[in-house]
Structure 1
Amino acid sequence: MKLLRPIALCIVLTAPALALRLGEVEAPALLGLLLFGAAVVAASFLLAWASRCSSSSPGRQPATSSAPSTPPSRPVR
């Protein structure tokens, strides 16, 4: 339960901005600034937490591809 509190807090802070964006509702400038700012900070905490969790688990490899994401600029011979 102690582990889920920060995640729940981040979700609660992100939800109002997501509802504004998906609902296409116009909010006053200051309210929009506060809501979207809190959502960005909460999302950055979630990403940092997930990164730390994935790097601290021994024996598990990240699910990344070894293939480059962009093609080479010249043919490889």
Structure 2
Amino acid sequence: MDARVTFYSRQGCHLCDDARQVVARVCDELGESFEEVDVDGDPDLVDRFGDEVPVTFVDGRQHDFWRVDEARLRAALG
């Protein structure tokens, strides 16, 4: 089963740490999975997302950046 949520992050990012907790909690509670991608491992992703990390995609479409709204994520996955 492919993950419905893709979470783009980077090391040492406190916003990423906070957002990861929200994404993990919501996905766990709803029985969904998420894939985390470190943008620093790909120059194209660094160019694409720049300083917007964390960036969250749901079903292949950009959903949030910087912060993850828990209610909005639940609604998108519901």
TM-score (normalised: structure 2): 0.24
Structure number with greater CO (CA < 8 Å, separation at least 6) is 2
Give the structure with higher Rg (CA).
1
Bigger share in helix: 1
Bigger share in strand: 2
